[in-house]
Amino acid sequence: MSGINLMNIARGGLLSHQTAINLTGTNVSNVNTPGYTRQRAIFDSVANLTMGATETKTGVIIKDIERTYDRFLASQIAGQVQDYEYSKTRQEELGRIEVIFNDYNEGIGQLLNTFWNALGDLSQNPSSQIERVAVLSAAQSLTETFRSVGEQLVNQQEAVNSQVVDLVREANDYIDAIADLNEKIMETKAGQGNTNDLMDKRTTEINNLASVIDFHYMEDAHGAVNLFLSDGTPLVLGLDTWHFKLDVDEDNSQFYNVSVEGAAAETAPLSSGKLAAVIDIRDRVIGGADGYLKKLDDFVAIFAEEFNRVHNEGFDMYQNQGRDFFVRDESLGEYSWIRSITVNSDIVADVNYIAASATVSGDGMNALAMGALKDTEVMLGDRRTTINSHYATLVAGIAQDVADSKRLAEHHLSLMNQLNNQREEVSGVSIDEEMLNLIKFQMGYSASARLCTVADEMIQEILALSR
Amino acid sequence: MTMRVTEMMRFNTMYSHLSNVQLRYAEILEKMASQRNINKISDDPSGVASIMNYKKEQSVITGYQRAIENAESWITITESQLTSAAEILINAREIALSQGTGTATDETRLYAAEQVSQLINQLQSIANYQYADRYLFSGTQTATQPFASVASESPQLGLPRQAGGNAFSGDISVDGNYEGTDNRSYVVKILSADEDTGEITWAVSSDGGRTWGEESDPEVLTAGTTTVPLDDDGGIDLVFESVDGAPAAGDIFYVDAFAAGYYKGNSDELSVEISKGVTFEYSITGDSVFSPQGGVDVFALLNELKEALEDDDSEAVLGTLDGLQRASIQVNTAIAKCGTRMNRLDIAKNNLTDLDFKLTELVSSREDVDISELVTDFAMQEIVLKATYSMAAQMGTMTLMDFLE
């Protein structure tokens, strides 16, 4: 009897250690799997066998396979992923905008200077065709650059808008995946199965979703996680999902607003994650009442209008009063100055239409007055400043935004790294630890095997007795 | 629970540190290669603004310097022409002195008259001298020949003209007499033109279009009767004789009015900007040197001398001496003016050169790298990078596994 019993105990030991060694193997092979949570076998002695007064343990089993996991840390990481991805996306997009302005040595500022100087030259020799053509070509380079900057910003805005579409699709995929995993986890739990692997997968999906949008989540009693936006709009409740949808913007048919199916809010309250970042870049950094396009357009408008005002006061070579020097395509609507400023086609066709003279006598005094605009302070927004200095301030403002976004992204990256390290400290795989476990479990396994031999010998001896 | 150190932690930490070190290293390399502190505007936002403002100042200074150079050559030419003019006046005075005495005969006077006539021609060509296709002495009307060969006895009005882009077609004339003592241009600008009623309003300028009078009452344009009073007294009118095409807003009509005498230019001096907000007048107008506006009507005086010589009138010849003396002073004053103007330009030029130098320094201090500092940084980062590499290479070479059989 005891021999057979011993055999059973040995069998339990062998199986348990086998499992533990397998788990160690899983841990070791997943040492580089992102999001993997190490697993530990929990050994437990089993069922007491009462024989008279003595009580005997009858072996070991693996009671549970534990996922070493810090729930609080996981939600902290999800939050940090949102902030990090938001700041990183902003930094990337602003970096692309920065490129447009990086040629501060040759760009608009310098072209303005060339233009002012060409006007100065013209004022000294107002009847010279060479000086007139020089003014025209300086003005054309300037308007071309204005338009190109406007065009690049608009393109950037459109590129960002198309990201909104992709990101919404991505977020919806993650929402589906999470609901799907919820279902599997609830089923597995109900069937007393092991959900560790599924939980890891779900945590990964939650972090994926966190990279796109910001949300809160909590786990319910059945093992499902429920996801809510910051205003309480549900995204996932158990098996049910609410998707993001794209609505065409009323003011701009090319732009999409993001809302949640069935939610009261017209636009989803997003403040973090990639999606919020691209919307922010599209609607507030490039577009919007304080956006770069508006600021640049205001700048070009005041430059062109001031210049036209002075130009119109003068007389051209045919003794006509000056016509508008800079024109735009007003049908473009918003930002039409920066997107469509050109030199009046009459002047392009005949430079004698440049009104360089202050009188009908063909002097150069109006060219001097136009050139003097370089020092004239104009009112832009709430600041009085010269045209050049205003542009410099604009560029410096953009540069500051880029620099700030870089700093913020770096800050969030280091927080992210710290949290990841904390997570790895708890849940990550340590090879040394696993090796020690391996030795330990191998020893246990060998010992259990030894037990088998002993039990076998014991049984053989008993059998020999009966022979 | 004691602190666990897992493989991921070690590698992640190494990744982020290595990429940080490499980033700093790359930044230094970029600065080394470009020799510039600011390679992206976000490297130094406020520096970018300062540099752009400095560069604008520099470019403006270049413009001022070019303007000053132009003005200087203009003044130099003016001065040399005026010096020749002064010599002509001295010659004329010598002739007047010698021919005013009793020793001169009618023959010598006739000969001298011929000489004076030559002097007048020379002075004409000086007064009408063109530099770079522009008349030196015609004020701001550098395309107009400043001195006519024959003086007009009384103030005159030119023919009325209209701008090339006018909608109006038809005949215009000017009615009345000009009585002013300066040359000016009257300009009429159509401010509004109603196609249905035929009513027009206009504004008049008596200074070539620089300043405008008030808008007129609307008036229906009728050929032959509609007149636009050009001066305040109502002495001069522009008359629309016939109307083939109705005028439109912005149409310009103008009439030049000349004072009596030889001068056809205006009294405005050419000016340039030589520093912020400072315009500098550099040309000498012909009327201030050769016309009654400057004191002596030089051409009239020389003609007077010539006629006196031809008439063999010694008293009249001597009578021009005082005038010739004053004319010389008049021309010499203009020469002196050229000199002081050159001085002012020199001072302005030196200031600008100093300023330019300082601005170059300022730009450089923000934009250019400090090589010695950069090289030190570079060496330091290289050491850090090497150390990081060697650490990375040794990572994971030692685990418990090395000691297991």
Q: How many other β-carbons are positioned within 10 Å of the β-carbon of residue A35? A: 17
Q: Give this complex's ipTM.
A: 0.86
Residue A57 pLDDT exceeds 70 = no
- A138, A103, A123, A154: which is closest to A326 by C-alpha? A138
Which residues, in sequence order, are bridge partners of residue A380?
Answer: A383
Q: Do the Cβ atoms of B294 and B194 come closer than 8 Å?
A: no
Evaluate if residue A297 carries a pLDDT over 90.
Answer: yes
From chain B residues 187-206, the ones with a CB under 8 A of any chain A CB are: 187, 189
Rounded to whole angstroms, how far apart are CA atoms A401 and A280?
13
Nearest alpha carbon to residue B291 among B267, B271, B268, B309: B267
pLDDT value for A296: 93
Question: Measuring CA to CA, how many Å separate A88 from each of A102, A404, B13, B14?
Answer: 20, 11, 19, 21
Whether A388 has its CB under 8 Å from any CB of chain B: the answer is: yes
Contact A360 B162 (CB under 8 A): no
Is residue A1 over pLDDT 60?
no
Each residue of B139-191: pLDDT tens digit?
888 888 999 888 888 888 888 888 888 888 888 888 888 888 888 889 999 99
| Structure-token match 């950069």, residue found | B374
- Comparing CA positions, the residue from B216, B164, B157 lying closest to residue B190 is B216
Q: How far apart are CA B325 and CA B331, in angstroms?
A: 10
Compute the CA torsion angle A111, A116, A119, A123 (nearest 10 deg).
-160
Number of neighbouring beta carbons within 10 Å of residue B211: 10
Interchain proximity A124–B266, CB inside 8 Å: no
Residue B41: how many CB atoms within 10 A of its CB? Answer: 26
Q: Measured between alpha carbons, how far is A317 from A33 in angstroms, rounded to an integer?
A: 78
Instruction: Report phi then psi at B191, rounded to 5.
Output: -90, -35
B279, B273 Cβ separation under 8 angstroms:
yes
B30 touches chain A (CB under 8 A): no
Residues with Cβ within 8 Å of residue A385, at least 6 apart in sequence: A377, A378, A393
A113 Cα to chain B: minimum distance (Å): 6
Average pLDDT in the A240-259 region? 86
From CA B189, how far away is CA B199, in angstroms rounded? 14
Q: Is B113 helix (H, G, I), strand (E, B) or coil?
A: helix
Say if B252 is an interface residue toward chain A (CB within 8 Å): yes
Q: What is the full DSSP assignment across A158-188?
A: HHHHHHHHHHHHHHHHHHHHHHHHHHHHHHH
Tokens of A50: 């009462």
Percent of chain A with pLDDT over 90: 53
Whether A49 and chain B come into contact, CB under 8 Å, resolves to no
Q: In the predicted model, what is the mean pLDDT of residues A80-85?
A: 93
Which chain B residues touch A374 with a CB distance below 8 Å?
A: 56, 60
Bridge partner residues of B281 (DSSP): B271
Cβ separation B141–A400 shorter than 8 A: no
What DSSP character marks residue A315? B
Q: In angstroms, rounded to a whole number, what is the distance separating the alpha carbons of residues B205 and B254? A: 9
For residue A176, pLDDT over 90 is answered with: yes
- For residues B358 and B365, what is the distance between their CA atoms, to the nearest angstrom? 11
Chain A closest CA to B223's CA: distance in Å?
A: 23
Q: Is the dihedral of CA A80, A81, A84, A90 positive or negative?
A: negative
Q: How confident is the model at residue A212 (pLDDT cuts 50, 70, 90)?
A: very high
Q: Where are the beta strands (DSSP E) in B18-97?
A: none
Judge whether B254 and B161 are in contact, CB under 8 Å.
Answer: yes
Element of type H or E holding B256? strand B252-258
Q: In one letter, which amino acid is A25?
A: G
Neighbouring residues of B87: CB distance < 8 A, sequence distance ≥ 6: none
In a mutational test of the B interface, the residue from A37, A124, A127, A354 whose CB has the highest number of chain B CBs within 10 Å is A124
Cα–Cα distance measured from residue B384 to residue A447, given in angstroms and rounded to the nearest whole number: 51
From A267, A353, A146, select the one nearest B165 (Cα to Cα): A353
- The pLDDT tens digits of the residues spanning A426-459 come to 888 888 889 999 999 999 999 999 999 998 898 8
Per-residue confidence (pLDDT) for residue A363, from 0 to 100: 85
From CA A87, how far away is CA A80, in angstroms rounded? 11
Residue A174 banded pLDDT, cuts 50, 70, 90: very high
Task: With CA atoms as reference, report the closest residue to B220 among B194, B241, B238, B239.
Answer: B194
Which residue in chain B has the smallest CA separation from A360?
A: B208
Mutate: best of A96, A319, A405, A433, partner B, most B CBs <10 A: A319
pLDDT at B133: 85
Residue A281: which of A270, A294, A292 has the closest Cα?
A: A292
- The DSSP secondary structure of A99-143, one letter per residue, reads HHH--TTTSHHHHHHHHHHHHHHHHHSTT-HHHHHHHHHHHHHHH
Give chain B positions within 8 Å (CB) of A316. Answer: 165
> How far is C-alpha B61 from the chain's CA centre?
14
Contact criterion met (CB below 8 Å) for A273 and A88 = no
The answer to whether B13 faces chain A, any CB pair under 8 Å, is yes
Decide: helix, strand or coil at residue B250: coil
Tally of CA atoms within 13 A in the half-sphere of B92 that contains its CB: 35
Higher pLDDT, A330 or A50: A330
Q: In chain B, which residues have pLDDT < 70?
A: 1-2, 234, 405
* A326-327/A54-57 β-pairing: unpaired
pLDDT number for residue A55: 65
What does the pLDDT average to over A87-94? 94
**Pick from A352, A346, A359, A350: which is nearest to A315 by CA?**
A359
The chain A residue lying nearest B190, using CA atoms, is: A321
Distance CA B23, CA B26 (A): 5
Instruction: Determine what percent of chain A falls in helix, strand and coil, rounding each to the nearest 5.
Output: 65, 15, 25
Tokens representing residue A46 in the block: 């089993």
The answer to pTM > 0.95 is no
- Which amino acid does the sequence have at A26? T
Residues 97-156 of B with CB under 8 A from A: 132-134, 140-144
Instruction: State how far residue A120 is from chain B, nearest Cα, in angstroms.
Output: 7
**Predicted confidence (pLDDT) at residue A197 exceeds the cutoff of 90:** no
- Does A319 have pLDDT greater than 70? yes
Q: Which H or E run contains B241?
A: strand B237-245
CA distance A182 to A226: 9
Q: Is residue A457 packed enough to be buried (19+ CB in 10 Å), middle (13-18) or exposed (0-12)?
A: exposed
The CA-based angle B19-B21-B23, given to 5 degrees, is 65
Identify the pLDDT of residue A75: 87
Lowest mean pLDDT among A92-101, A351-360, B257-266: B257-266
Backbone angles phi, psi at A87, to 5 degrees: -70, -35
Is there a contact between A127 and B134 if contact means CB atoms under 8 Å apart? yes
Q: Rounded distance, CA A86 to CA A277, Å?
A: 5
pLDDT at residue A245 is higher than 70? yes
Position A104 pLDDT exceeds 90: no
Q: How many CB pairs under 8 A join A and B?
A: 214
Position B366 scores a pLDDT of: 87
* Tally of CB atoms within 10 A around B101: 10
Q: What end-to-end distance do the CA atoms of chain A give, in Å?
A: 18
Residue B354: CB partners within 8 Å, gap ≥ 6?
none
**Does A113 contact B56 at a Cβ distance shorter than 8 Å?**
yes
- The 8-class DSSP code of residue A286 comes to I
**Rounded Cα gap, residues B66 and B55, in angstroms:** 17
Q: What is the pLDDT of residue A53?
A: 64
Closest CA to A225 of A211, A235, A212: A235
Contact A63, A248 (CB under 8 A): no
User: Which residue in A124, A359, A430 is closest to B70 by CB distance?
Assistant: A124
Q: Torsion over CA of A384, A388, A393 and A398, rounded to 10 degrees? A: 140
Q: What pLDDT is stored for residue A350 in this prediction?
A: 94
Residues of B in contact with A321 (CB under 8 A): 163, 189, 209, 250, 252
Residues of B in contact with A428 (CB under 8 A): 4, 6-9
Nearest Cα residue in chain A from B10: A421
Which residues in chain B (267-306) have CB-CB distances under 8 A to chain A?
A: 268, 270-273, 276-277, 279
Number of neighbours of residue B104 by Cβ within 10 angstroms: 19
CB < 8 Å & 24+ apart, contacts of A102-105: A102/B39, A102/B40, A102/B41, A104/A395, A104/B41, A104/B48, A104/B51, A104/B52, A105/B51, A105/B55
* Whether A158 contacts A256, CB under 8 Å: no
